[in-house]
Structure 1
Amino acid sequence: MNFDSYEKLGLNKKLDREVIVNGRSNNEPRDTSGDVNYHPCLESYKQEGVLEGNLVYFKDWSETEIFGGTQRDISVYIPDTSNTKDLKLIVLQDGDSYKNENGPVRAISVFNNLLYQKRIDPFAAIFVMPGRPMGMKVNAPGEKRRPEAHRQRSVEYDSCDDRYLRFMKGELIPFVSDNLDLNISDDPLNRLLIGMSSGGICAFNAAWHDPDSFGNVISHCGSFTNIRGGHNYPSIIRNTERKQIKAFLQSGKEDLNNIYGNWPLANKQMASSLDYAGYDYRFEFGVGSHSLNHGGSLFAESITWIWNS
């Protein structure tokens, strides 16, 4: 297709989230009634006698050239173990949503319980937030993300290039391992990327660009839609030689349906393409909305499936 046709069809346009088309917008009320069917998994509750890992915080971290002019909060989970050689690694995008001890996932308690029960080998986990412009304060709980921060998150998470991959490999992980003296495994089978919505496609996209560095993905309500080109992945998966990626996808019938696309359909397309191309994958499609409720109910199960099945 030549550029004139590309432009004539409007394929060069980047739709702002506030735009109204055909009387429809991305800000329409959403049906979340299906979320009542899901509750945090059993492993998300603190158990007496379970040893707890340590959590180290890096606030307003800005040591990045790839996303220069941004700052972000990082939290690192370090397991309570003497075996710190070749630690497995989990990187969670929108980390605070997963870390929230009153949220639908409560990842810290899940990690503590899984390790205490010896259901998975020791690992470190990086909870990383998307960047925000320098000097911008963190949103208060429940506060809508500021437009500049929303755009930066989309640039980092929705873009289908390799910048976020290079950010993790060349800046984030070396910073964490050097500052905390962690010996993190280089084996892609020992590395897991997790994300919700745009964080979901971010996780898959990074693994796709370099499966020799990241071999496992958990995507909750992944945005495989036309925000910044992610809707192309189902066809790309079908016509590309299979890569060594193991993927757990989750969506639901009340997931988003807006100007960018239909999330339930997009995730079904992803699952179909992964199946067609012979990938080791699992797809959980429920009745929930664009939230972490369903994914949280399966959180411990999904991690053990990635590393034990």
Structure 2
Amino acid sequence: MRIDVPYRELPDDRAEVRYLHGPDSIEWPQVPAGKTVQFECRDSVSYPGTSRRFWVHVPAGYDPARPAGLMVFQDGQWYLDPDGEVRAATVLDNLVHRGDIPSTIGLFVEPGVRAGAATPKNRNIEYDAFDDRYATFLLDEIIPQVTSRWAVAEDPEMWGICGGSSGGNGAFTAAWLRPDRFRRVIGFLSSFAQMPGGNPYPELIAREARKPLRIFLQAGHRDLNWNQFEQNWLAENLRVAAALAEAGYDFRLVLGDGGHHPNHGGVLLPDALRWIWRGPVNPAGHLRSAG
């Protein structure tokens, strides 16, 4: 089916562009709001000495007899904020209510904090590392607190993970190393350029057998160091996207204008969720394989 896209003049100054949110990012009185519950995690096994908050957003109409999908969001409070750029709970409510995506529970996890430490924030340690510690932390310490209270589908095709900046490559790494649990990935302005030891993904994607992942990436023309030889965030995202294309992955790359700012990714979230969850649904209400 052909889709006609209206003509829009390209802006001259690509650093000052701001995208406007669409109707799926707005709270509507006719759409019942889901319920958000706050939790606290202390004395982590994976990250000793850290504590953090996390939130679970359960859509209206959730039916324990029909296990829901699970979407994990890094930088939880920031992605949950209804007045912020992403507004993920609002988006989930709208898309689930309309049937655009399956019934999906949102899990919003904050990065860890070390009270009293000289460098209290544990965000880059958790998100930028190329190892399975963060995925293990989610699977062993956080997600069981969700699945013990709500019915979540066991099918990994119903599990996704999303993040921006360091949270973007953190989401990618969790899915890359644990595709047995996370199959749908959204990465906004991912910080592949600052991974310790360099960005491993272009080589790994080309060398390893294709994983059963569906991946949505957003990058910015004026992201950090966009015109520099080293630490070029735009270039590293393009290298990952090129490797995914050459390896035959089910992926989509959206390029936007502007710098390292969450605006464009936040505006795209409804489309990104629709895209990663697209496809035929089996009789149990779950999506069939993306592999």
How big is each residue's C-alpha offset from its partner over 1:267-303, in whole Å with a ceiling of 9 and x where there is no partner? 1001000001110000001112112111111110100
State whether structure 2 residue 24 is matched by structure 1 residue 48.
Answer: no
**Secondary structure, counterpart of 2:17 in structure 1:** helix
Question: Which residue does 2:46 correspond to in 1?
Answer: 66
* Residue 34 of structure 1: how far off its partner (Å): 3.5
Equivalent residue for 2:213, pick from 238, 241, 245: 245
For the 8 Å contact 1:219–1:248, the answer to whether it is kept is: yes
Q: CA RMSD in A?
A: 1.8
- The residue type paired with residue 175 of structure 1 is Q
Question: Which residue does 1:156 correspond to in 2?
Answer: 126
* Residue 135 of structure 1: how far off its partner (Å): 6.0
Within 2, Cα distance between the matches of 1:35 and 1:173? Answer: 39
How big is each residue's C-alpha offset from its partner over 1:13-58, in whole Å with a ceiling of 9 and x where there is no partner? xxxxxxxxxxxxxxxxxxx963533122321111121111000011
**Secondary structure, counterpart of 1:237 in structure 2:** helix
**Secondary structure, counterpart of 2:257 in structure 1:** strand
After superposition, where does 1:1-309 map in structure 2 within 5 Å?
34=15, 36-59=17-40, 61-84=41-64, 85-134=66-115, 148-150=119-121, 152-178=122-148, 181-257=149-225, 261-309=231-279
The percentage of counterpart residues that share the same residue type is 37
Within 1, Cα distance between the matches of 2:125 and 2:229? Answer: 18
Within 2, Cα distance between the matches of 1:226 and 1:259? Answer: 14
Indicate how the Cα distance of structure 1 residues 74 and 115 shifts in structure 2: closer, same or farther if over 3 A, else same. same
- The residue type paired with residue 58 of structure 1 is F
Within 2, Cα distance between the matches of 1:92 and 1:260? Answer: 29
Question: Which residue does 2:9 correspond to in 1?
Answer: none
Structure 1 runs of 4+ off > 4 angstroms? none
Aligned residue-pair number: 264
- The residue type paired with residue 215 of structure 1 is R
For the 8 Å contact 2:175–2:183, the answer to whether it is kept is: yes
Within 1, Cα distance between the matches of 2:160 and 2:251? Answer: 14
For the 8 Å contact 1:35–1:294, the answer to whether it is kept is: no
Of Structure 1 and Structure 2, the greater strand share is in: 1
Within 1, Cα distance between the matches of 2:160 and 2:258? Answer: 24
Indicate how the Cα distance of structure 1 residues 254 and 89 shifts in structure 2: closer, same or farther if over 3 A, else same. same
Q: What TM-score do you get using the length of structure 1 for normalisation?
A: 0.81
Within 1, Cα distance between the matches of 2:88 and 2:230? Answer: 30
Of Structure 1 and Structure 2, the greater helix share is in: 1
* Residue 229 of structure 1: how far off its partner (Å): 3.2
Q: What TM-score do you get using the length of structure 2 for normalisation?
A: 0.86
**Secondary structure, counterpart of 1:101 in structure 2:** coil
* Residue 175 of structure 1: how far off its partner (Å): 1.7
**Secondary structure, counterpart of 1:125 in structure 2:** strand
For the 8 Å contact 2:160–2:184, the answer to whether it is kept is: yes
* Residue 230 of structure 1: how far off its partner (Å): 4.8
* Residue 82 of structure 1: how far off its partner (Å): 4.2
* Residue 112 of structure 1: how far off its partner (Å): 1.1
In the alignment, structure 2 segments of 5+ residues that lack a partner are 1-12, 280-291
- The residue type paired with residue 134 of structure 1 is A
How big is each residue's C-alpha offset from its partner over 1:142-169, in whole Å with a ceiling of 9 and x where there is no partner? xxxxx6134x111111110110011011
**Secondary structure, counterpart of 1:133 in structure 2:** coil
- After superposing the two structures, state which structure 1 stretch, 197-206 or 290-299, moved more: 290-299
Indicate how the Cα distance of structure 1 residues 62 and 156 shifts in structure 2: closer, same or farther if over 3 A, else same. same
**Secondary structure, counterpart of 2:221 in structure 1:** strand
Within 2, Cα distance between the matches of 1:210 and 1:250? Answer: 22
Within 2, Cα distance between the matches of 1:186 and 1:289? Answer: 38
Within 2, Cα distance between the matches of 1:58 and 1:33? Answer: 40
